[in-house]
Amino acid sequence: MSGAAPPGFPPNPYNEHAWIIGNPAIGDGTWIGAFTVVDGSGGLTIGRGCDISCGVHIYTHSTVRRCVSGREYPDVDRAPVVIGDHVFIGANAVVMMGVTIGDRAVVGAGAVVSRDVPPGTVVAGVPARPTGRVVVDGDRVEILPLD
């Protein structure tokens, strides 16, 4: 990171143009792109060696029920997000509260992840659905379509 965070952005060691709130646990070697929103207010763990592409939003809270009830429902709902090791999240993807993404999973650009993603699974679309699998064998890496 070079320079100070823009006005209004909390400083963070990952990217001066990323908005990181709460106290997320972020593993060594994880890269976070510009213009991301990383909400750790409801509990967030991001594993080692992940790439969180530009424009990704990770949410651990929701104000939907509070909003639609006219504030009769007074709470902000929160649920933790867990992202495993060596996970790739493509540009402009959204990860919703309460989701777990397993090790070595791939989230396609623009996907909306509202359900858990098993390890080694490729998901894409809105809502995100499995489309492939990741095979790692030493230095050989393949992204294979589902059979």
The pLDDT value given to residue 39: 97
The pLDDT value given to residue 28: 97
Residue 121 falls within a domain, yes or no? yes
Give bridge partners of residue 136 from the DSSP assignment. Answer: 141
- Start-to-end CA span in the chain (Å): 42
pTM to 2 decimals? 0.92
Distance CA 102, CA 81 (A): 11
Tokens encoding 72:
């009769």
Residue 6 falls within a domain, yes or no? no
The pLDDT value given to residue 1: 44
Residue 30 falls within a domain, yes or no? yes
Domain, as residue range, for 119 = 19-133
How many domains does the structure of the chain reveal?
Answer: 1
The 8-class DSSP code of residue 104 comes to T
Low-confidence ranges of the chain (pLDDT < 50): 1-2
Burial per residue of 61-95, b for 16 or more beta-carbon CB atoms within 10 angstroms, e otherwise: bbeeeeeeeeeeeeeeebeebbbbbbbbbbebbbb
Residue 59 falls within a domain, yes or no? yes
The pLDDT value given to residue 7: 74
Tokens encoding 89:
């999240």
Residue 13 falls within a domain, yes or no? no
Residue 142 falls within a domain, yes or no? no
The CA distances from residue 66 to 22, 70, 75, 79, 140, in Å, are 20, 7, 6, 15, 48
Residue 56 falls within a domain, yes or no? yes
The pLDDT value given to residue 10: 77
The pLDDT value given to residue 147: 77
Residue 47 falls within a domain, yes or no? yes
**CATH number of the domain encompassing residue 45:** 2.160.10.10
User: CB neighbours of 138 closer than 8 A, spacing ≥ 6?
Assistant: none
